[in-house]
Amino acid sequence: MVGTIVASIIIFGLLIFVHELGHFIVARLTGIRVLEFAIGFGKELIGWEKGDTRYTLRIFPLGGFCKMLGEDAEDAVTEGSFQEKPVLHRLAVIGAGSFMNFILAALLFALLYFFFLGVPQAGTTEIGQIIEGGPAEQAGIQPGDTVVAINDVETNKWEDVVSIINTHPEREIELTLLREGAYVTTSVVPRDDNGRGLIGIAPAMKKHAFFSSIFLGFSYTWYLIQLIFVSLFQMITGTIPADVAGPVGIVAVVGEVMQEGLSNLISLAAIISVNLGIINLLPIPALDGSRMVFLVLEGIRGKPVDPQKEGFIHFIGFTLLILLMIFVAFQDISRLVF
């Protein structure tokens, strides 16, 4: 239990810290004065000043915050304040938090590919893994076999292998394999998976491939971003049931994933980071997305929205958000207890 709590604190703390770091970096780059950059919340434990910014370490290590001069809409506009900067600069500052969450996710996925999973060797046709109980295993195909040809059609890269197998669901195909210097021929019938043929093989993987791991990390993060947006749309339209987990539910998941190894924990942290980035971009009052909407309106109108009205909307949104979090936490606890 202690290990689960520590791991959860580290994950939550890292994700929120990186989010606030994004705001901090872009604020400094655009000339906005940062009054305080804090790691953690609550009572200050350690603090020091450098330039115009105070850096603090606080008692509760769950994330942090970046306090900028003139950040609130009702604050006076002074030199170096958030309100004094052009709309595009302010949009960049607000959006930088989510952007950093996406970057962190990509780097965590890249770490997984580099150290734990390896990078698929798409330029070869060597089989790296056989799925247990699949058609390939039943046909006697072994890890390390190289697919030379399928149905007498030469295969030079993994894409060739996948393409031919996918187009032959429930139809027998003949594979010519190179095994320990000798050619072996075997027949297999791909099973039908929504119109695609699959035989249960995976390509050879190579660990410690730096650039390939980075590329795959960013590619998978982009795929995940699109998938989450599609899922959110489907939940809103009722196509799929809404299934939301709050901090309590996430802690429970962290506890389960910890038992499966460090690689799964890193993967979970990356997935949560993408979710955090997306949620903050949604136009929900009190979140970054809502503030970006007001900035876009200001850019269109040529003048800001009434600060009191904007503040009231954010207050209402924040109140509803807290109520939603309490409801989700209750749901999480109900799943765990009952």
Q: Shortest CA distance to 96 belongs to which of 13, 30, 36, 10?
A: 30
Q: Which among 57, 60, 14, 7 is positioned nearest to 37, based on CA atoms?
A: 57
Contact 281, 34 (CB under 8 A): no
CA distance 161 to 149: 8
End-to-end CA distance of the chain: 19
d(CA 146, CA 143): 9
Cα 189 → chain centroid: 37
Q: Residue 202: exposed, middle, or buried by beta-carbon count in 10 A (0-12, 13-18, 19+)? A: middle
DSSP state of 156: -
84 has catalytic annotation:
no
Active-site annotation holder among 20, 137, 180, 256: 20
* HSE-CB for 296 with a 13 A CA cutoff: 9
Are 89 and 27 in contact, with CB atoms under 8 Å apart?
A: no
* DSSP-assigned letter for residue 305: P
Phi, psi torsion values for 188, nearest 5 degrees: -150, 150
Say if CB 17 and CB 63 are below 8 A apart: yes
DSSP 178-208: EETTEEEEEEE-PEEETTEEE-SEEE-EESS
Active site (catalytic) residues: 20
